[in-house]
């Protein structure tokens, strides 16, 4: 693996992109889980799929944009979906959760239309759905680096506001924090991470990178900061083991990463339960 990593650029792109995603996805995932917005990641991933399918269809139809990287339209669709979710959440004040199935259904519907209209990109689409080690280009890697910078800058300036908003939204609003704008920017950043992660984890599995490491961390963490640290640690471990497994077994990296995340979660749950029983016995 190390020798191949040194010799092949596509492996370098996949490995370093995966390591970045292993940090930024669980990092934002902590705030998503705490705010009980886990399903929003699923909704945005389906909207991203619509953007990808649309881009692949347009590249077949119009020769002039055949070389356009589908990730750009995927990002645009994901960000647009995040804005629509916020708009619908404000429109249905007492039924905010309606925004998620509406956007998810719309994303799936549009995706189905573009997929049925187009032909000949089944292989390309599969790599976006479940990830691919060989499909990550240098351009994709640069996009992920830029998205990571955006995530860190956002958290650098709005970490305290996001922390207060996550645990007590009413207090945040009453204390004069720009809750609406912080949440709006947070949704855009989440959309960027989802769109940027699809090459490695896959569109249908990307939300798991924002929830499974966090779920494992929350079982053993003592405090919010420790949850963040453990989430990133579990996320990086999942990506590393998943990519190595995908390389040697010739499997989709999205599947191996998610299965590794689930395995880590199960180990943590069993270990936590065993520790509790042991402490009671003592």
Domain ranges of the chain: 2-281
Q: Does domain 2-281 have CATH number 3.90.1300.10?
A: no
CB 41 within 8 A of CB 190: yes
End-to-end Cα separation, the chain, in angstroms: 45
Distance CA 178, CA 180 (A): 6
Instruction: List pLDDT tens digits, range 1-57.
Output: 566 666 767 778 888 888 999 999 999 999 988 888 778 888 888 888 888 888 888
pLDDT of residue 156: 92
In angstroms, the Cα distances linking 1 to 133, 243, 254 are 13, 10, 18
The mean-pLDDT minimum among 70-74, 90-94, 155-159, 227-231 falls in: 90-94
pLDDT of residue 154: 94
Distance CA 148, CA 127 (A): 22
The mean-pLDDT minimum among 10-19, 131-140, 148-157 falls in: 131-140
Distance CA 155, CA 188 (A): 13
Distance CA 159, CA 135 (A): 34
Distance CA 278, CA 282 (A): 6
pLDDT of residue 226: 93
pLDDT of residue 269: 92
What percentage of the chain exceeds 90 in pLDDT?
Answer: 22
pLDDT of residue 92: 80
Distance CA 12, CA 133 (A): 10
pLDDT at 266 over 90: yes
DSSP calls for 8-52: -HHHHHHHHHHHHHHHHHHHHHHHHHHTT-HHHHHHHHHHHHHHH
């Amino acid at each position: 693996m190390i020798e191949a990593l040194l010799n092949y650029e596509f492996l370098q792109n996949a490995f370093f992109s995966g390591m970045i995603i292993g940090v930024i996805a669980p990092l934002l995932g902590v705030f998503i889980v705490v705010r009980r917005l886990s399903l929003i990641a699923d909704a945005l991933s389906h909207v991203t799929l619509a953007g990808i399918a649309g881009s692949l269809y347009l590249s077949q139809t119009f020769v002039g944009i055949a070389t356009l990287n589908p990730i750009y339209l995927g990002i645009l669709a994901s960000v647009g979906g995040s804005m629509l979710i916020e708009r619908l959440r404000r429109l249905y004040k007492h039924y905010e959760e309606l925004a998620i199935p509406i956007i998810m259904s719309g994303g799936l519907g549009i995706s189905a239309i573009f997929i049925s209209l187009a032909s000949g990109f089944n292989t390309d689409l599969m790599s976006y759905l479940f990830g691919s080690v060989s499909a990550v280009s240098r351009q994709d890697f640069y996009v992920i680096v830029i998205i990571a910078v955006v995530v860190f800058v956002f958290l650098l300036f709005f970490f305290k506001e996001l922390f207060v908003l996550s645990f007590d939204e009413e207090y945040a609003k009453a204390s004069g924090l720009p809750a609406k704008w912080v949440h709006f920017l947070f949704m855009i950043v989440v959309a960027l991470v989802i769109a940027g992660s699809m090459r490695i984890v896959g569109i249908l599995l990307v939300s798991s990178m924002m929830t499974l490491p966090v779920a494992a961390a929350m079982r053993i963490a003592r405090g919010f900061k420790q949850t963040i640290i453990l989430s990133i640690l579990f996320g990086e471990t999942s990506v590393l083991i998943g990519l190595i497994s995908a390389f040697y077994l010739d499997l989709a990296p999205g599947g191996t990463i998610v299965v590794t995340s689930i395995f880590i979660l199960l180990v943590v749950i069993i270990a936590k339960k065993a520790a509790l029983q042991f402490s009671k016995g003592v």
